[in-house]
Amino acid sequence: MSQSLIKRGFQQAKQLLIIQFVLLIAIASFGLIKNFQVTVALLSGEMAVFLANLYFVFKVFAKSGAQANKQVVKAFYLGETVKIVISVGLLIVAFMLLPGTELFVLVGYIAALLMQWLTPVIVKTH
């Protein structure tokens, strides 16, 4: 893969992460209609996805070039595995620290997953 393609892919991934972050903050702010704890719960669920995605993007794009082909594949699989562990770990922490708001944590998590899937469809990146 050429360096320009890799650089463009990394720039697009960063752009999507920024857009996702802004949308997730907007969604979490709707929790203020009920109370601040709901906002924190929504944000906690959303960050379980966003922070895992952030790690994944930087892990995968750390290696590039034809010489690093096997390293890229290894980084992809390792990045995806760690991404899942980060998400599960952050959800467990959120459930432990925010008792009584588990439903809002899950709503935030699902909203973030939907943003992850829909942002590339909605926002033209090429």
Look up residue 125 and give its amino acid: T
Distance of alpha carbon 55 from alpha carbon 82, whole angstroms: 8
Lowest mean pLDDT among 19-33, 44-58, 66-80: 66-80
pLDDT band at 64 (very low <50, low <70, confident <90, very high): low
Q: For residue 4, how many other CB atoms are within 10 A of its CB? A: 8
In Å, the largest CA–CA distance within the chain is 54
Q: Is the pTM of this model over 0.75?
A: yes
Domain boundaries, the chain: 3-122
Q: For residue 92, how many other CB atoms are within 10 A of its CB? A: 11
